[in-house]
Chain A
Amino acid sequence: MDKHSAPGPQEPNAMIGPGHSFNSVTDKISSIVLREGAPRGWWIGFGIGFVLTNMMLVSLIYLFARGTGIWGVNIPVGWGFAIINFVWWIGIGHAGTLISAILLLLRQEWRTSINRFAEAMTLFAVACAGIFPVIHTGRPWLAYWLFPYPNTMGLWPNFRSPLIWDVFAVSTYASVSLLFWYVGLIPDMATLRDRTVKIIPKRIYGVLSLGWRGSVRHWHRYETAYLLLAGLSTPLVVSVHTIVSFDFAVSITPGWHATIFPPYFVAGAVFAGFAMVLTIAIPLRRVYELQDFVTAQHLDYMARVMLATGLIVGYGYLTEAFMAWYSANPYETFMMSNRMTGPYAPVYWLLITCNILSIQALWFEKVRATPIGLFIVAMFVNVGMWLERFIIVATSLHRDFLPSSWAMYAGTVWDWSLFIGTLGFFVSLLFLFIRFLPMISIFEMKTMVPEAEVREDLL
């Protein structure tokens, strides 16, 4: 099937390269999993991820031994890297659900070849995000106190608190994303079971596919379940970052107490998520020669979504500045002028450069058609969205209502090692996923090839 994998001239709007059939799609995608050994690039990528994962584990053990004093958090800035990283990671996850659920309901066919690894990205990003609030509690071994369970202390969580809403939102989001991903994998794992000749992988894929045999009666209910899950995930994904923004917006801190926060956070999440999807997709399609499945058209559409959501985020920044002036509230006005001209001003203007200026390049078709150019813009956005959360957390807190308690905030070496460690954890999980599960949905790709048209003249 190698003759199909070379990037050839593509028709405009092509969602799959020419000349593909059920057979070639199955072979191409399943051979990535079933081949002997892994390419060198895989070992290098996984190796880097593995080393950094160990750095994360060391940082966690040292944290458990010494407590949160090893971090840069202080009073007034009690929310440091932990909340910044949490919001950054959970935001990245949102693109996966958007691609798999919202674009499915909108019948956007281009989602088909990117939904599987975007969903995997969601799960792994949520796994990284989940670490931070738990360890920020200071006594992570008591994290189960966050859940409502009958206890001898006679206590219940406060259901009026956004922090407890967050527990429910994030745990529901993680569970539903896992279900969605697993349901999508069932028919593909049956394909792997039927294609592999080795006994142990055959057994494992066989059990994981739950004995799926492709019965049309099963497919009928399967399609219904998949659509219903998409319908349920769509409001869910909007609710999750809305509730994350409530962590800020419900408090009465200047710069946080704003009604723009929920829509602006949701747009920012999709923006960051698409940047991460592009960051992953561009090298992957090259290393595994998947240009026929993740075509130039896919990259172009993802760039457009990134541009659109980026402009909404820019509107959010403008609204924040406008409201600080229009509200005539001295604390709001001070917070905004301190953010733009105070000690953190270079970070703020760097964030504007990354999130607003850099994406203007995406107006040009030439940039959207150049994978390397897109990759660079996506990296700018990845950094910019992290800086945005840093600015939101640090500038609202470090100069609070009482000037005598003002202080500066910066991450320590342990803050950074933990954050970079979670990046490695994310990368390791992603590489393991690519090695052991089909990174593109095989059965959904089959619906894109010409053979899937049932010809009426045969009926």
Chain B
Amino acid sequence: MSENSNEQPIYGLLAEFSSAGELVTATRAARKAGFTKIDAYSPLPLEELFEALGLHKSRLPLIVLIGGIVGACAGYGLAYWTSVIDYPINVGGRPFHSWPAFIPITFETTVLFAAFSAVLGMLALNGLPQLYHPVFNVSRFAVASKDRFFLLIEAVDPEFDYDKTWSFLTKLEPRVISDVEH
């Protein structure tokens, strides 16, 4: 793989486990040992893994709320501006600002903007699309989307020392430990 400006010779160490329970134990142990630059990989979303990695709050709901509010203002604003200011039509003397008639469109644009915020926000926070990632260099990683669980400790972690980290991971009894190249 291409040489990186990173001074670390490898990207990190990847340990493979056969069950979610083993990965939960390993993730907790790694955090307890002081590692911070870690990630876990799983073929399915599991609450226990989120907790083991200490993931609680996400900024996503706030992004969706803002998207929804912007959508509501855009929809109502469009209906108001066109029907009241730019192109008023007098229908039997009824008010130009006939707000109940603007509600269906306001509702639809709220949902539309909020839904796009949810998806684009999720992808942006996750850094996707990202077609290349060093973990893909480990050939065994292909089973991460099938039935295996992986723990990654990155070399940039301040606690990382190749030999010590390797022996730490060995104690967790993984199936395999692999070097992750850049």
A: which residues have CB within 8 A of B?
21-23, 26, 148, 154-160, 162, 164-165, 168-169, 172, 175-176, 179-180, 182-183, 187, 190-191, 193-195, 206-207, 210-225, 228-229, 232-233, 235-236, 239, 243, 246, 443-444, 446-447, 451-452, 454-456, 458-459
Contacts and interface: CB of A to CB of B under 8 A. Distances in A.
A164 B108 CA distance: 12
A114 B119 CA distance: 22
Most chain-A Cβ atoms within 10 A of its Cβ — which of B61, B91, B118, B121?
B118
A215 B129 contact: no
B42 A214 contact: yes
Interface residues of B, number: 68
Given A26-B147, A165-B104, A179-B119, 10 more contacts: A159-B82, A159-B101, A190-B145, A191-B43, A194-B146, A221-B60, A455-B19, A456-B21, A458-B19, A459-B28
B38 to A, nearest CB: 10
A219 B104 contact: no
Given A228-B60, A451-B19, A211 B43 contact: no
Interface stretch (B1-9, B50-58, B155-163): B50-58
Contacts of A195: 142, 145-146
Contact of B119 (A183, A212, A236): A183
Contacts of A220: 45, 50, 53, 55, 58
B20 A454 contact: yes
Interface string B12-44: 000000011110110010000000000111111
B60 A210 contact: no
Q: Which of B48, B78, B129 has the most CB of A within 10 A?
A: B129
Contacts of A215: 39-41, 126
B166 interface: no
A421 to B, nearest CB: 29
Given A23-B147, A158-B89, A235-B111, A211 B129 contact: yes
A182 B119 CA distance: 10
Interface string B63-95: 010000000000100110011001101010000
A159 B102 contact: yes
Nearest to B148: A22
A26 B115 contact: no
Contacts of A183: 119, 122
A34 to B, nearest CB: 13
Contacts of B145: 187, 190-191, 193-195, 212, 214
